[in-house]
Amino acid sequence: MIVIFCIICHLMFVSGSSLSDQVHQTPSEKFCKTGDKPQISCRHEIQDYTRIFWYKQSTDHQMQLLGYMNVNDGYPETGANVKINGGATKGETCSLTIEGVNTSSSGVYFCAASRTGSREAYFGQGTKLTVLDPDAEVQPPTVKILEPSKKECKDKKGKKKKTLVCVASDFYPDHVSVSWTRNGQNITDDIQVSTDAAATAKKDGKNYKITSRLMVPIKDWVEPNINFTCTVSFFNGKSNIKKNTTYTTKGIDYPVITRESYIKITQNAKISYTVLILKSCLYAALVCFLVWKLQRKRGKQTK
């Protein structure tokens, strides 16, 4: 058990290694109902690695060791309610069967390949498992893009920009991902794109919502006919379907001034100027009157 504990502790430090590319886990996403026995498979192509560990990451990101396979022998953890079958050597397939499924079984399941006596272990890509609510139906999202506020003009660093907000709503379950394109080209800049870390459930718990924000540089915003497309990929239990919507920039709109509007503007300007002159004259007359009155008062005091 000490070796197992050390391996699990070390997982977080080696999951980014290139050897993780040789650990293959399927499927990446899966739905099931209460009482089902979903199965997840894992195999690796790493020489001399003869152990495969299984664990679950719950929605609060806690890690639970479910058990492991050593060569051809499975060792599930007590109370984990799983079966581990197959083989753990190079090229063999190890399967995890989850029994007694209920809503608490939802989470992300990972396999990790390891070598006997070593503390290194390499992650698979993970399988997101959702136990469906019997009262909810699988449904794809509705997607829309919200225009930026007219008052928005600069980001926190003082750079001019506008922000488009993509909202995907009313979908179930929460198996979605969001991406953006500019005229068909993928936008991968993390500074330009900010997406919610996870979809959030509405009050009824049967529908989800997720938002993604795209910071559009002002140089693109002032150009017309640039297409920014938000694409939401939704797993419906069988395949990923895509829902998208596009916002097209309008560019800078210069107002057209007609002869009538020009005459009206100049007339208003003349009236405003005349009123200003009259006010100035009245003010000057008042000052002159006060000065004359003050001088007269001083003259009487002198006599």
* Predicted confidence (pLDDT) per residue in 217-257, tens digit: 988 998 999 999 999 999 999 999 999 999 999 887 444 45
Q: What is the pLDDT of residue 88?
A: 96
* Predicted confidence (pLDDT) per residue in 118-141, tens digit: 888 999 999 999 999 988 899 999
CA–CA separation, 218 vs 152, rounded Å? 11
DSSP character at residue 144 = E
Joined together, the tokens standing for residue 150 give: 């007219």
CA–CA separation, 57 vs 65, rounded Å? 9
Calculate ∠ Cα 207-212-213, nearest 5°: 150
* Predicted confidence (pLDDT) per residue in 59-70, tens digit: 777 889 999 999
Residues contacting 274, CB < 8 A, separation 6+:
none
Whether the model pTM is above 0.75: no
Phi, psi angles (nearest 5°) of residue 119: -95, -5
Joined together, the tokens standing for residue 207 give: 């529908």
Helix%, strand%, coil% for the chain, nearest 5: 25, 40, 35
Q: What is the pLDDT of residue 37?
A: 95
CA 81, 8, 16, 88 torsion: positive or negative? negative
Q: For residue 299, give the 3-state DSSP assignment.
A: helix
Q: What is the pLDDT of residue 13?
A: 40
